Amino acid sequence: MTKIDDCTLVLFGASGNLSRIKLIPGLFRLDSLGRLPEKMKILSVGRSDVKESAWRDDIKSMLDIKFKKNYDAKVFDRFIARNFYHANPPDDENAFKRLSERLSDASTFPQNLAFFLSVRPSDFASIVDLLASVGLTDETKAWRRVVIEKPFGTNLETAQALQKSITKHLKETQIYRIDHYLGKSALQNILLTRFANHIFDPLWTHEHIDHIQITNNETLGVGERTQFYDATGALRDMIQSHLMQMLALTTMEMPETLSPENIRAEKIKVLESITPIPLSELKKHTFKAQYGRGKINGEEVKGYLEELGSPTSVVETYAALKFYINTPRWKGVPIYVRTAKRLHASDTAIAIKFKKAPLSLPVQADNWLVISIQPKEFTRFEIQTKIPGLDTKVRTVAMDAPNRITGDESVDAYESLLLNLMQGDQSLYLHINEVEASWRLLDPVIKAWNEDKSPVFTYPAGSADPAESKIIFDKPEQFWRQSIEIGENKL
Ligand code: BG6
């Protein structure tokens, strides 16, 4: 277990959803697992003037909801004693000076400081400016780290501007850019499956792989976040960050070691080797659609436009893209990336389809390797075996390996990321070059989609992938794979 320095976590946007649902319960869980340093403190910062006792009551209600009132009273007392509240009203010019004075009380607050900015993205740069203006980013006596929630920029230009602004005050080692998917143990499993099993590496090339599918589908709709979503769309919301990271982990070269630097360096290399999508052939490489009214688990749900309350939006809730990686390993292998809200099933997975065996047989299906991330964590390898009997016929059978078995620790992505933050381990955080590489690839597509005001394809909520999405496939026999079903589920 890596030793963690005593530190203070300063949580901006503490009363927001992320903090209530993930961060504070996550910190509590870490405390119950004995993973928080003894003197560690949490200073929640919010705009409203809330009394410390009221804030502590509020924390209790967050934990009651999250753990259904089922938690250890002793751990609760210890956790509550770590928690403080600080009001930073937006109209108070001296707010950050007061914050710095409060934090300078070293008898209460350990001086290693991690600032978690769970705030509006438009506030990231100004908060870092203000922290620096009162000396809170200065590392002369103790470490200072800043966590920036997704999205880091809304395009390449704004990402670069944000980077320029925060690096006036912070070194790369102080910046923790979150992509919470990297905190999922199932995602970390991609690298280990690939590199801890020597059998896979020789097969991981264009000679053996027909294509790869990187999928995140949700049955959920956009929920309360209509305005945010309408300004963002599926491509920006999911593909630019989470899915491009899944793609990088699936296709990167083996790092020299599993050190944070080596892993990030290989991810950056592969992201930078992706061929830009040719805008002249956009319709063969990309597809977008929007959900309409439909049924999820038998219940009627509204369409996107009804939820939004505006009939004209053409923003995508379904996005599918085709990439090629310009390296000898991946020559000519299409990599299909798709994400959707309100599809018939939730499914996050990497599915690799291997080329057909050279021997010609009467009925011959394909070999697939599926690494399922959620809702179930498993690896499935599908092979062809003979059907017992007089004829020479084969069928597909699945070799299933559960990646999670009863009794395994269940750790939320944010819990491992918070721990890494305190440990100073950046391997599960994004390097600026990864963020930039991803924006560089997607910006032109986002721009072209924004300019295209023609009617958007729609799919009923609760349906499978829209049949029209097949347009991006290289070959007629390719189809969208659902991770659980055996590989015959053609559109
Ligand atoms: C977020 C997106 O980053 O990830 C959401 O903004 C999405 O739209 C969510 O629903 C999915 O995360 P998870 O961990 O539930 O798969």
* 308/292 Cα distance (integer angstroms): 12
Q: Kindly name the residue from 169, 242, 344, 431 that is annotated as catalytic.
A: 242
Q: Is the pLDDT of residue 491 over 70?
A: no
Per-residue model confidence (pLDDT) at position 357: 85
Q: State the chain's mean pLDDT as an integer.
A: 94
Structural contact between residues 381 and 148, judged by C-beta atoms closer than 8 angstroms: no
Question: Mean pLDDT throughout 309-323?
Answer: 96
Mind listing the pLDDT tens digit for each residue in 287-301?
Answer: 999 999 999 999 999
Q: Which two tokens stand for residue 465?
A: 């992938």
Cα 377 off chain centre by: 16
Instruction: Report how far ligand 1's centroid is from the alpha carbon of 474 (Å).
Output: 29
Catalytic site residue 242?
yes
Per-residue model confidence (pLDDT) at position 209: 98
The number of the ligand 1 atom at minimal distance from the alpha carbon of 150 is 3
pLDDT band, residue 177 (cuts 50/70/90): very high
Q: Is the pLDDT of residue 489 over 80?
A: no
Percent of the chain predicted with pLDDT > 90: 89
Strands (DSSP E) found in 324-471: 335-340, 347-354, 368-374, 378-386, 394-402, 457-460
Per-residue model confidence (pLDDT) at position 471: 96
Q: Which two tokens stand for residue 46?
A: 């919010």
Q: Which two tokens stand for residue 270?
A: 């592969």
pLDDT band, residue 230 (cuts 50/70/90): very high
pTM of the shown model? 0.94
Q: Which of 21, 120, 180, 373 to mutate to test the pocket of ligand 1 (most atoms within 8 A of CB)?
A: 180
